Structures are given as structure tokens and as C-alpha cells.
Amino acid sequence: MNPEVAAPQRLRLALILRQEWLLAVSAATSIVFLLVGRILFGLLANPAWLLIMFVWLFSVVLGSALSVVRHADHLAERLGEPYGTLILTLAITSIEVMAITAVMQHGENNPTLVRDTLFAVVMIILNGMVGLSLLVGGWRRPEQHHNLQGANAYLGVIVPLATLSMIMPNFTHPANGPPYSAIQQAVLAFIAVGLYSIFLTLQTGRHRGFFIDETGEAADHVKPDGGPLWVPVILLFAYMALVVFLVEQLAAPIDYFIETLHAPAALGGVVMAILVATPEAISAVRASLANHLQRSVNIFMGSVLSTIGLTVPAMLAISHLSGHPVVLGLERTDSVMLVLTLALSIITFASGRTHLMQGAVHLVLFVAYFLLIFET
């Protein structure tokens, strides 16, 4: 090989190895639990070891999930639309589905895990992530602007899907009654996938301008370098494979904490939601700080929509195939919180401008959500 060609390749390889050190950590952790996992899980009765194992696994899984999103975002920038949106959405949704499935099939049956995770994702994103983004953005400048038509398009699909998935089941069956029937689940899955597909066509096709910053301030986005496309593809799938294995190991300390120590069952959903929402929350807050609120809106609204539009049908299908029942209807207090959050989101994004006060109100609802977990 020509030395002039080999030198840049060696430098690129060295750079990749330095940047992807977490891949080695994740792989080493996977090997440890593959070889001596049963011995380590046998020590969960020790509170100190339970905490250490949870923090260890949660940190590695979260770091790997962040890397998945990073490489998916790199591919999205390289390939453009509509492939970019599809890659980002499928990567994030895959992590969520794998995480919920691993916990749902581990330990005692938890039919409300999917519901709790969906609700936690909505609360964390539409209250926590939106509140923090608007607060830090509003702290730096009096107002921030976004494309009103894009926000309306998102909320126009999120509101009916959230209602059909988490509120309507309580009115089709009595309290503590059976979940959606198989036919009702099939109809819900068809509606969710159908509306999401139509929305994706709108977002990447004739109404693509609804989701672009009208002020043009986001035009300074820097394109990634033109390295080989197969590198981020391989790294993306490598991290996702490790997430699949490690999140199954994480299910053990989560189940032990909930079942043995009688912690609120909704905490399992909260942990799964944090794993999914954190990578996007970081991106959304950074975009808001840079006065690219439209990018933030696309991130947190798109995340909620993909969670309901894709995760719900996927989990209903897995529930049918695995024989694990799924309960979707929320408790009474949670239903009120969901309606309040959706109504507040409509008000917040109704004018195309946001300010500090709106972020503070969303954060108040986020705090109320966490307090209600331990009160109910």
C-alpha cells in the first residue's frame, strides 16, 4: 500500500479507537456478565452490591445508548432525508423496545410495564425535556421562535394516539378488568403505524418546510467529515448488540428492587424511559442553548410520536407472541396528568414563540409526576 495513503488511514483508525473507548468497556462488561453473571446476581441481597450493580449496568447501557444515537445521527447527516429520519427513529425505538421486552420477560409478570414506560417517556420529554429546554433558552434571551405549523403537526398526531393508547382503554373495560381485546389491539396498532407513516411522509415530503427553522439560524450546522460510510454503520450495530445484552442484565437488579423491596412498580418504567430519553434530552437542551429551538422541537416531539406510534404496536405484537399480557390504561391520577400535559403542550406551542415562564410550568408538572409515583 502507498505510504501516503496508509498514513491517513492509520490516523483515522487511531482516532476511532480513542473515540470509541466505551465500546471496549461495554464489551468487557458483557463478557463479565456472560461468564459469571449468575454469581453476581446471587449477591443482590446485599444492598451495597445491588446499588453498585445497578449503577454499573445503567451507566454502561446509557453510554452505549448515547453512542447509538451519536452514530445514527452521523448517518442521518450523511444520508439526508428521508433516510436520516428513519435511521434515527428506528435506532431509538429499537433501544426502547429491546429494553422494555427484556424487563417484561424477566422475573415476575409486569403487565403495566409498557404503560408505565410510555407514560414516563411522555412525562419526561413533554415536561422535563421541554421545560428544561425552554427554561435554559429563555434564560439567555427573552423569546425563542419555532415553526408553528410543525409543532401543530406533531401535536395533531400525538394527542389522539396518546388518548387511544393510555386513556381510552379505561373506558372500554371496567376498572381492573381485562386489557384491550386482540381485535382492539390490532386496530390500535394499525392506527398508530398508519398515522405515523402518514406523518413521516408529510415530514419528509411535501410539507418538509414545516419542520425547518423559519429564521434560518440553524443553517450553520456543520456536516460530518466524509469518512467511509461503513464505519458508523458497523459501530451503530455493535453498540446496539451490546445494549440488547446488557439491558437484559439490567433487568435483574430492577426486578429485585421492585419485587423484593416492594418499590413502586412504575419505577421500572421510569428507568427504561430515562435510558431512552436522556440521549435526546442532551441534544434538545444543547440546541435550545444555541437558539435552535426548532431543532429541539423536532427532537422532543419526534421522540414522543415515535414512542407511541412505533413502540406501542411493537410491544403489542411482542405481547401476543410471548404470551405476556399488556395493560395500557392509566390510573386516574396519571390520566389527569397526561391530559394536563397535552393541554399545556398545546398552549405552549400555540403561538410559535416560547419564553421562560412556559419552561418553568412544564418543570413543575415534571416534579409533580415524580411525587405522584411515590404517593400512589
Q: Which of 154, 148, 212 is nearest to 352 (CA)?
A: 148
* b/e burial code for range 334-362 (CB count within 10 A of at least 16 → b): bbebbeebbebbeebbeebebbbebbebb
Instruction: Measure the CA–CA gap between 217 and 293, rounded to whole angstroms.
Output: 10
Say which CATH number the domain at 195 has.
1.20.1420.30
For 323-364, what is each residue's pLDDT tens digit?
Answer: 777 788 888 888 999 999 999 999 988 887 888 888 899 999
Q: 73 vs 83, 197, 285, 288, 350, CA distance in Å?
A: 11, 20, 16, 18, 29
Instruction: Measure the CA–CA gap between 244 and 97, rounded to whole angstroms.
Output: 10
Instruction: Measure the CA–CA gap between 376 and 374, rounded to whole angstroms.
Output: 6
Number of domains, the chain: 1
Provide the whole-model pTM.
0.81
Whole domain around residue 18: which residue ranges? 3-375
For 246-299, what is each residue's pLDDT tens digit?
Answer: 887 887 887 777 777 676 667 777 877 787 777 777 777 887 888 778 878 888
For 52-105, what is each residue's pLDDT tens digit?
Answer: 888 888 899 888 888 887 887 777 677 665 565 567 667 777 777 777 777 666
